[in-house]
Amino acid sequence: MPTAVWTGHDLLNGKPVETLTIIFCTTGCYWGMGEGCTMCGYVNDSADSKPSDDDLLAQFARAADKSTPRTSLIKIFTSGSFFDEGEIPSLARKRILEAIGEMGSVKKVVAETRPEFVTEIRLHDTLAVLDRYDISFEIAMGLETSNDTIRNDCINKGFTFAEFIRASQTAANMGVTTKAYLLLKPPFLSESMAVDDMLSSISDTAPYASTISLNLCNVQNGTLVEELYNHKDYRPPWLWSAVTILRTAKAKYSHITFMSDPVAAGSKRGPHNCGECDKDVAQVLRDFSLSQDIGILLDVDCHCYSLWEKVIELEDYAYGSYLIK
Ligand code: SF4
Ligand SMILES: [Zn+2]
């Protein structure tokens, strides 16, 4: 069984299309098995024993059952890296891609991987299959931030911005686009530091990514972020921060597609505002992602907006504590 499968909508060449998202159950992220990232609980999702190629194919078949004849975009996650041979051996990868091609409706595949696995040979093998079916390919990488100090000290991601650039340029040279995931508010940053980090990360990443997805940090089980949260040393980001970042970024980089699907929005362990407006503001972020219409982000308000402005202004002086729960 795959870890998770769901259908949804995403943009393809500027138009909303039906998507199928698959999280394969593999042995999991090698980095997560070792040091791991401070906010990532995906290691809990991994298989106890290594699935065989046939198991991986069977997982795909189960997932494909949820597709429709209009499924145009397939997003592949593994709670690790699609290009890691230890998780998905090359033969299984080839067979999965062929099965996607045989579906007949798919126009684009996006697969998540850490940058160290992005090599010409793996891209070549992937394109050799997808080109036969006229399917375009995009790699998705969890860059999190362009700031190496924050990525290292706050997230413990284990790769540098230079490695991300190398991977995205290798991909670009072969006609493969890059989607970058950025992480709003890793631990140890105030709300305003987190917003500034995202704005500078977007500027730094813009030359290398055609899509930037703003991931809002949430509290996952068994993580350092959870430990800090339990000690009242971490609060997930405000949804207003995401609205502000996307508004500013889209105005500046209109050619880039910006996405944000705030997981666990409105709960204490997820990104939230005052509790009253969370549902609406989270929906605004999703609506913007599908329309890229900045106007949607301007058309939302709540009494807590001024409270968030105070947090932005004052939290830097709070010696690492958050001001409003
Ligand atoms: S965030 Fe990504 S790289 Fe980090 S441990 Fe989780 S799956 Fe691995
Ligand atoms: Zn509110």
Contact yes or no for 196/158 (Cβ under 8 A): no
Alpha-carbon span 257 to 17, nearest angstrom: 14
Residue type, 321: S
Low-confidence ranges of the chain (pLDDT < 50): none
Instruction: Evaluate whether residue 23 is within a structural domain.
Output: yes
Contact yes or no for 131/97 (Cβ under 8 A): no
DSSP class of residue 120 equals: H
Residue type, 317: Y
Return the pLDDT at 236.
98
Instruction: Evaluate whether residue 322 is within a structural domain.
Output: no
Which CATH number is 307's domain given?
3.20.20.70
Query: Of 172, 34, 178, 58, which Cα lies nearest the Cα of 112?
Result: 178
Return the pLDDT at 126.
98
Return the pLDDT at 319.
67
Instruction: Evaluate whether residue 44 is within a structural domain.
Output: yes
Which ligand 1 atom sits closest to the C-alpha of 142?
2
Q: Which two tokens stand for residue 194?
A: 């987190």
Q: Which two tokens stand for residue 233?
A: 């040393």
Return the pLDDT at 243.
98
Pocket test of ligand 1: the residue of 31, 46, 160, 182 to mutate, having most ligand atoms within 8 Å of its CB, is: 31
Query: Of 13, 318, 98, 3, which Cα lies nearest the Cα of 190?
Result: 318
Alpha-carbon span 314 to 323, nearest angstrom: 8
| 36: alpha, beta or left? (left if phi > 0; alpha if psi -120 to 50) | left
Instruction: Evaluate whether residue 324 is within a structural domain.
Output: no
**What pairs with residue 73 in β-bridges?**
19, 108
Helix, strand, or coil here: 142?
A: strand
Distance of CA 307 to the CA centre of its chain: 28
Query: Of 116, 132, 126, 130, which Cα lies nearest the Cα of 80?
Result: 116
Residue 220: CB atoms within 10 A of its CB come to 18
For 166, how many CA atoms within 13 A lie in the half-sphere containing its CB? 12
Pick the residue whose CA is nearest to atom 1 on ligand 1: 40
Q: Which ligand gives the minimal distance to the CA of 39?
A: 1
- What DSSP letter does each residue of 206-232 carry, written as one string? TTT-SEEEEEEP---TTSHHHHHHHTT
**Cβ(186) to ligand 1 under 6 A?**
no
Alpha-carbon span 296 to 77, nearest angstrom: 29
Rg of the Cα trace of the chain? 19
Instruction: Evaluate whether residue 37 is within a structural domain.
Output: yes
Alpha-carbon span 306 to 62, nearest angstrom: 48
pTM score, whole prediction:
0.96
List strand residue ranges (DSSP E) for 82-216, in order.
Answer: 108-112, 136-144, 177-184, 211-216
**Count of structural domains, the chain:** 1
**Cβ(270) to ligand 1 under 6 A?**
no
Pick the residue whose CA is nearest to atom 6 on ligand 1: 40
**Cβ(40) to ligand 1 under 6 A?**
yes
Pick the residue whose CA is nearest to atom 2 on ligand 1: 80
Instruction: Evaluate whether residue 325 is within a structural domain.
Output: no
β 15-23/4-12 pair status: antiparallel
**Enclosing domain of residue 277:** 4-317
Q: Which two tokens stand for residue 2?
A: 């795959």
Return the pLDDT at 175.
98
